[in-house]
Amino acid sequence: MRRGDSPAWRAAEPRLSVLIPFLRDDPTALLALLDRETPELQDAVEVVLLDDGTGDADLTARLEAVVADLALPVRLLSSPDNLGRSRGRNRLTAEARGRHWLFLDSDMRPDSPDFLQTWLALAKIDDPAVAFGGFSLDQAPHEPRTAVHRAMALRSDCTPGIERARQPEKHVFTSNLLVRRDVFEVEAFDADFAGWGWEDVEWGMRVARRWPIVHIDNPATHMGLDTVETLAAKYEQSAANFARVAAKHPEVVATYPSYRAARLIRRTPGHRLARPLFKAIAMLDVLPDPARAFSLRLYRAALYAEAV
């Protein structure tokens, strides 16, 4: 595992560790935004990055140069192999020195200039076991090719803290998640999850049995909206993970609309024949975005029907 540190890394004694994995992305823009808060953080925040097997020597060299110029304490890890979403984040925690860890995706952008200051104050004053800050699309570009994903995210994901708190374990995503060290030492991410999806929600289900999950409004924008084709591929990857979650937490998953839809589709004659039709409808650019989003949700439910 290759390491590169900023000048401030060695002497820092952080309270909060920001943990950022990435694969074939360049997190420079995110680092610049976080670094702007350095004067107000009083050396209490560090950043740990993990290049999870990109294998791009030029990107590594550029990032090492960027890290060397940052005021924040930053460590860049470059893994020769792809560890995956769960194992990669577990690996990041081994480098973290703070009492609290903020898992932050590389395609996120803080929505306020005091983003880290807000998290640091919460960690110091309330010392929460787990807290999720939410995410938005405020800074994400409006593009026709990602309009369906935008419609779906605005409907189900970009919700205020008071709404998320009604099902606290359901709205736990590693895009903007604060975790206390002792909690994670007991409940790490399940490394047996593979591909995309559900490993963070499943972690939230386990944690919610023992600790409260706080929901606040300190959002960051999700910049990485996907096309319908990419979303469909991710849903195809996630079906096995959904099955794993349903088997481990049947009483929780049974309350989810996606589970109920999957059960209904499974009982419908010919549901396997309808599945490619749902996907084909979602791909039709001539249809309104809400109709395409609805059909894509049906496609996801049809995939999950095989798991329930």
Q: What is the mean pLDDT of each run of 10 residues along the chain (308 residues)?
A: 91 96 92 96 95 89 94 94 88 96 96 98 98 96 95 92 92 94 94 85 93 97 95 93 90 86 88 91 95 95 88
Last residue of a domain, one of 170, 204, 225: 225
Same domain, 171 and 231: no
Here the tokens at position 46 are 């560090």
Domain that holds residue 239: 226-308
For the chain, the domain total comes to: 2
- Whether residues 52 and 182 share a domain: the answer is yes
Whether 155 and 101 share a structural domain: yes
**Residue reference for tokens 């409940």:** 187
Residues 6+ positions from 111 with CB-CB distance below 8 Å: 136, 138, 139, 219, 220, 221
Tell me, yes or no, whether 221 and 233 share the same domain: no
Burial class (CB in 10 A: 0-12, 13-18, 19+), 2: exposed
| Single-letter code of the amino acid located at 69 | D
Rg (CA), the chain: 20
CB atoms within 10 A of CB 29: 12
Report the relative pairing of strands 100-104 and 176-180 from DSSP bridges: antiparallel
- Point out the domain boundary residue: 225, 260, 291: 225
Same domain, 86 and 132: yes
Instruction: Specify whether 249 is located in the same domain as 154.
Output: no
Instruction: Give the C-alpha separation, 242 to 240, whole Å.
Output: 5
* Same domain assignment for residues 21 and 117: yes
- At 245 the three-state DSSP class reads helix
- The closest alpha carbon to 13, from 49, 42, 50, belongs to 42
Q: Which residues contact 48 (CB under 8 A, 6 or more apart)?
A: 17, 18, 19, 20, 74, 75, 77, 92, 95, 96
CATH number for position 62: 3.90.550.10
Domain boundary among 178, 198, 225: 225
Q: How far is CA 12 from the centre of its chain?
A: 27
Do residues 296 and 148 lie in contact, with contact meaning Cβ atoms separated by under 8 Å?
Answer: yes
Dist. CA 7–CA 5, nearest whole Å: 6
DSSP bridge pairs for 73:
none
Q: Which residues contact 205 (CB under 8 A, 6 or more apart)?
A: 169, 245, 248, 249, 252
Asked if 139 and 85 sit in the same domain, the reply is yes
Same-domain pairing of 293 and 305 = yes
- Whether residue 112 sits in one domain with residue 72: yes
What is d(CA 25, CA 4) in angstroms, rounded to the nearest whole number? 17
Task: Say yes or no: 97 and 143 in one domain.
Answer: yes
For residue 266, the number of C-alpha atoms closer than 13 Å in the C-beta half-sphere is 13
CA 195 vs CA 189, 239, 267: distances in Å: 14, 10, 27
For residues 27 and 159, state if they share a domain.
Answer: yes
